[in-house]
Amino acid sequence: MQPESVSTHHDPQSSAVAVAVVQFAAGTDPSANLQALREHVRAASGRGAKVVVAPEYSMFAVTRLDERVVAVAEPLTGPFVTGLGEIAREFGVYLVAGIVEQVAPESGRIRNTLVVLGPDAKLVTKYRKVHLYDAFGYIESDVVEAGAVEAPATFTVGAVIFGMQTCFDLRFPEGCRRVAAAGAQVLVLPAQWIPGPAKVDQWTTLLRARAIENTVYVAAADQCAPRGAGASMIVDPTGVVLAELGDEPGVLTAAVDLDRLDEVRTSNPSLILRRFAITERPSD
């Protein structure tokens, strides 16, 4: 395993990027969800955000997945992703959001996909959720096709590298470590974190742990009530919570500062000191 180099010099014009996290209650009308998201992105842009992170299933949200989610699924060229691109272009931001991606009309399945749209309205990259939510009485894999294990999807804004994971992926530290090892300095994590006993405490603990162990910023966008637990937050690479919400809709903003990241990684070079690699577990 090759150690990562730690840069200590950055262009001051690009070493800090304002990031926003959107928390809202997505429903079953994609057009209404798109309109609600547009207003949140407007607010985020007004605060100077250049990257805006929206929740998992921003396009269509239900408590339990069934034929409804299959019926509404769209390709990456569909109207919802196109609408996200128009919002990104209107406000000059990079917009990350969770969609219901169509596999094939006859398959009866979908993909749980994150898309990144740039200020030119074009698709920058995508991430298909790898770890499906087959836990706590839910079986996401009944309807969702897991994403292939591929090289981590990243995108760069200024000099800052962003990587992605989704919701249940948070419980698998090796997945987040792969993203950091690929060079990401910020982990964006859209979620529909289902409410339940101790779930908020687990969510906030895991978010801070992923930031600390990987020395990365974490920007986590959850849905709020009734289908999500809320508690969206932005965490710095030492685990300090820079901004957070309760269970109400809202927008958080904070600056990702690479000079601060360098300070943390110089004093705690854990990515360089690690002794173990990560390998894919063969599918059953």
Q: What is the DSSP letter of 103?
A: S
CA–CA separation, 117 and 222 (whole Å) = 19
At 115, give phi and psi (nearest 5°). Answer: -125, 150
Please identify every residue annotated as catalytic: 56, 129, 167
206, 189 in Cβ contact below 8 A? Answer: no
Strands 160-164 and 186-191: parallel
279 Rama class: left (phi>0) / alpha (psi -120 to 50) / beta:
beta
- Which two tokens mark 272? 């360089």
- Which two tokens mark 282? 């063969």
| Long-range interactions of 125-129: CB distance < 8 A, separation 24+ | 125/153, 125/154, 125/155, 126/76, 126/153, 127/153, 127/164, 127/165, 127/166, 128/101, 129/56, 129/166, 129/167, 129/168, 129/169
- Residue 157 bridge partners (DSSP): 160
Burial 56-69 (b: 16+ CB within 10 A, else e): bbbbbbeeebeeeb
| 199-214 and 173-181 helices, crossing angle to 10° | 30
